[in-house]
Amino acid sequence: MPARTDNAVVINAPLAFVWEAMNDIERWPELFSEYASAEILERDGDTVRFRLTTHPDEENGGQVWTWVSTRTVDAARYTSNAKRIETGPFKYMHIDWSFDAVPQGTRMRWVQEFSMKPSAPADDAGAEDYINRNSRIQMGIIKRRLEAQTSGAA
């Protein structure tokens, strides 16, 4: 059965700043601790095709993961959706991102829907647990890094 995760964090920074930073894919290795590189392959209007490569995944025997995804932004609504083109261990992976101004700054939310291949290192439930755990870790890192960048401003 397909899996779904839904995680959010409030970043004490303005919506426009967070939106711009999180859509600068080439900068993701500076914002996410898991990514070793992010390479833009193609831009077409509001859609970008890119390759991500992780640092070795110690939880999975030092495996380095790499894949190609597309991401389409809707700047008027502060949303984007992404899907893996090279799915790796996933049958499919879709991620909806949303950004909302809140009194404390910006609420960033990731909703991920996916299913794992039978040959994957985890089934849907195991991957859901891993992705929930890792999403919370990465959101916390992004929050700290973006807040540190804006702490001297204003």
Residue boundaries of the structural domains of the chain: 3-150
Measured between alpha carbons, how far apart are the two ends of the chain, in Å?
A: 47
Please give the model's pTM, rounded to 2 decimal places.
0.93
Sequential pLDDT tens for the chain (154 residues)? 689 999 999 999 999 999 999 999 999 999 999 999 999 999 999 999 999 999 998 877 888 989 999 999 999 999 999 999 999 999 999 999 999 999 999 999 999 999 999 999 899 999 999 999 999 999 999 999 999 999 754 4
Residues in Cβ contact with 85 at an 8 Å cutoff, skipping those fewer than 6 apart: 49, 67, 68, 69, 70
CATH superfamily of 3-150: START domain (3.30.530.20)
